[in-house]
Amino acid sequence: MSLEEEIIFQGHENILSLHPKTIEITKDPHLTKKGDCIIGVSANKACDDLDIVLREKLRTSGSVVKIGIIVEPYQFDMVGLGSDNLEITHKHDIVLRKSNYVDARTLIVSCDKSAIDIPRKLINALTNSEAIGLLRIKVE
């Protein structure tokens, strides 16, 4: 049985998406150019807002997690893993990590992509503050 959840976020003029190890979305409405892993702001959910059953499934080592980033007409897909070390409790952010580093913001580890890997057409769309993005999480 798989579980799925979606998070809606907005674009921002300072989105760069250049980080080689992480991807982040945040509930915060503001972004400086130092946040080069952030691809979306004003998200409607952070780690702590996710369904408890989904979070428990993410806290299972070896669970496969498929993530889709959708900004019409573009979609970008990636795969990572859950871990029994995950906390998934942060109240403002969600971070997808290539590494196995875990903190309260970490949603998945061993992600096969990072911010720098996202196609520029999708990122260019997100530099418009009116753009709406969707982060789709599917845990198997």
pTM of the model: 0.96
Query: Identity (one letter) of the amino acid at 25?
Result: I
Task: Give residue 17's identity as a one-letter amino acid code.
Answer: S
How high is the pLDDT of residue 27?
98
Q: What is the percent of the chain where pLDDT is above 90?
A: 97
Residues 29-63 have pLDDT tens digits of 999 999 999 999 999 999 999 999 999 999 999 89
Residue 94 has pLDDT above 80, yes or no: yes
What is the CA angle 42-48-53, rounded to 5? 125
Going by C-alpha positions, the residue among 39, 62, 50, 44 that lies closest to residue 114 is: 39
- Domains annotated for the chain, with CATH where assigned, are 3-139 (2.60.120.630)
Please determine, for residue 1, whether its predicted confidence score (pLDDT) is greater than 80.
Answer: no
The pLDDT of residue 2: 81
Percent share of the chain, pLDDT over 70: 99
For residue 11, what pLDDT band results from cuts at 50, 70 and 90? very high
Whole-Å CA distances, 19 to 53, 57, 64, 128: 30, 27, 23, 19
pLDDT above 80 for 80: yes
Write phi, then psi, for 109 (nearest 5 degrees): -120, 170
Long-range contacts formed by 75-79: CB under 8 A, 24+ apart: 76/113, 76/118, 76/119, 76/122, 78/111, 78/112, 78/113, 78/117, 79/111, 79/112
